[in-house]
Amino acid sequence: MTSTKPTNQAQIEGLLFISGDEGITLGDLAKVTGFMKPAVLSILQQLKKKYDQDPSSAFVLLESDQTYRLATKHELAPVIKHYFEVPLTVPLTKALLEVLAIVAYKQPITRLEIDDIRGVQSSGSLQKLMVRGLVDTAGRLDAPGRPFLYATTPAFLNYFGLSSLKELPPLPDQADLDSAEMSGDLFLEALQAREEQQRKEN
């Protein structure tokens, strides 16, 4: 089976998607793809035109200070708002708990760092956790693109019956806290241990 190389436009679109709310700069798009900046700008203009002219597309392309990001069209606001509000009535999913656990143990942390640990995109999960009041932004990282840093809130402590972050259960191996080999399951198992303990206490 032969693999098809993604088109130049698909590469730029994929990077815009994975960069999430923080967006990605023109310079970074050029650096990652190896394309010249004029070529990247041309592709961005093509994407913007495609989104604007296609009523079946949910996206718009936003630009600020040469940083580009995808957003949903304004007319989708009601259904997007409903999507984030509905889960408030149901327990946290495994994916949400996994992101929450990573933030709890590694805070402050950027979304891309969370993505690296999980191996999947975490933008939607972070937004849901923020709607629930369990996670919030905690400034920006002093790095290219100035990505948001995320941290847990007092509501997180209340949710798990903690008086402070010092009461978080220890990880299986604290020596490997900064290891690139870590997975989200490691953090999740530790946090779930606290959740199980809390259920027994109640």
Spatial distance between the Cα atoms of 41 and 122, rounded to a whole number of angstroms: 27
Split at pLDDT 50, 70, 90, the class of 120 is: confident
Q: What is the pLDDT of residue 40?
A: 95
Q: Which residue has the higher pLDDT, 79 or 184?
A: 79
Domains of the chain: 8-72 (1.10.10.10), 80-201 (1.10.10.10)
Q: Is the pLDDT of residue 189 over 90?
A: no
Which DSSP symbol is given to 120? S
With b for 16 or more beta-carbon neighbours within 10 A and e for fewer, the 139-149 pattern comes to eebeeebebbb
Q: What is the pLDDT of residue 44?
A: 96
Q: What is the pLDDT of residue 18?
A: 81
CB atoms within 10 A of CB 87: 14
What's the order of all strands across the beta sheet hosting 67-72? 24-25, 67-72, 59-64
Q: What is the pLDDT of residue 91?
A: 73
Name the residue among 116, 121, 101 with its Cα closest to residue 182. 116
Split at pLDDT 50, 70, 90, the class of 62 is: very high
Q: Is the pLDDT of residue 150 over 80?
A: yes
CB atoms within 10 A of CB 117: 24
Average pLDDT across the chain, whole number: 82
Spatial distance between the Cα atoms of 124 and 102, rounded to a whole number of angstroms: 15
Q: Is the pLDDT of residue 180 over 80?
A: no
